[in-house]
């Protein structure tokens, strides 16, 4: 198995066949946004190939050199629960050596499916991701912040790079309205709206 970039046509195929099935519409970027960010050099849609078949993907939203947000991690519906998620993360670690990869996983206390959110966090922990000291809120959804790095990363530096990814893409108005890094645990949640809002 090999982790490599898809063709534009393959990206469209996995978007429709894998990501649309795996992620709620409110959490899924429009394909056109991904394609434009890839063309602009801000996105890496890594795909796991088993021969000619794409069996999973891990998409990185790039920030400053050495920093990236794990935007989506997905295994094809036919190959789930076979250990491929761990394979993808291992191969990503090899491909992106020297990069701090951070991400968001739904906080169990506010997730519609508490048990699934707990299992997801457990999966990430088993595969070497650490939990940062701050949570986030994106478009009204509460997340735990996780990261994959050679060693501990200072929360202040991580938060700065985490903010940069969104500030570099969203208008100041959109960022102020829908992104909270960190989120205030005592504040009322923001509005739950689709990503493209």
pLDDT in tens, 7-19: 999 999 999 999 9
Q: What are the sequence ranges of the domains in the chain?
A: 1-97, 99-188
Domain range 1-97, its CATH number among 3.30.479.30, 3.40.1350.10, 3.40.630.30, 3.30.465.10: 3.40.630.30
Q: By CB neighbour count within 10 A (0-12 exposed, 13-18 middle, 19+ buried), where does 113 fall?
A: exposed
User: In this predicted structure, what is the pLDDT of residue 160?
Assistant: 98
CB contact at 8 A, 120 and 106: yes
CB contact at 8 A, 137 and 180: yes
Q: CB-based contacts of 122: which residues, under 8 Å, 6+ apart? A: none
Backbone angles phi, psi at 193, to 5 degrees: -135, 160
Which residues of the chain are modeled with pLDDT < 50? none
User: In this predicted structure, what is the pLDDT of residue 196?
Assistant: 64
User: In this predicted structure, what is the pLDDT of residue 78?
Assistant: 87
pTM over 0.85: yes
DSSP code at position 136: E
**CA–CA dist 30, 180 (Å, integer):** 21
**CA–CA dist 148, 171 (Å, integer):** 28
Question: HSE (CB half, 13 Å, CA atoms) of 6?
Answer: 26
**CA–CA dist 91, 94 (Å, integer):** 5
């Amino acid at each position: 198995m090999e982790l490599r970039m898809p063709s534009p046509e393959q990206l469209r195929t996995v978007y429709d066949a894998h990501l649309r099935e795996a992620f709620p519409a409110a959490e899924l970027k429009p394909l056109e946004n991904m394609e434009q960010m890839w063309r602009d050099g801000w996105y890496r849609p890594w795909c796991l190939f088993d021969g000619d078949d794409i069996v999973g993907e891990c998409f990185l939203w790039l920030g400053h050199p050495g920093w990236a947000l794990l935007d989506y991690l997905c295994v094809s519906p036919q190959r789930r629960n076979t250990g491929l998620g761990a394979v993808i993360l291992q191969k990503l670690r090899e491909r992106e050596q020297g990069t701090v990869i951070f991400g968001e996983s739904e906080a169990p206390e506010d997730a519609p499916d508490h048990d699934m959110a707990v299992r997801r966090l457990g999966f990430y922990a088993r595969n070497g991701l650490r939990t940062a000291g701050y949570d986030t809120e994106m478009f009204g959804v509460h997340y735990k912040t996780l990261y994959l790095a050679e060693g501990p990363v200072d929360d202040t530096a991580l938060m700065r790079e985490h903010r940069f990814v969104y500030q570099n893409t969203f208008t100041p108005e959109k960022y102020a309205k829908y992104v909270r890094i960190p989120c205030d645990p005592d504040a009322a949640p923001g509005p739950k709206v689709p990503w493209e809002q």
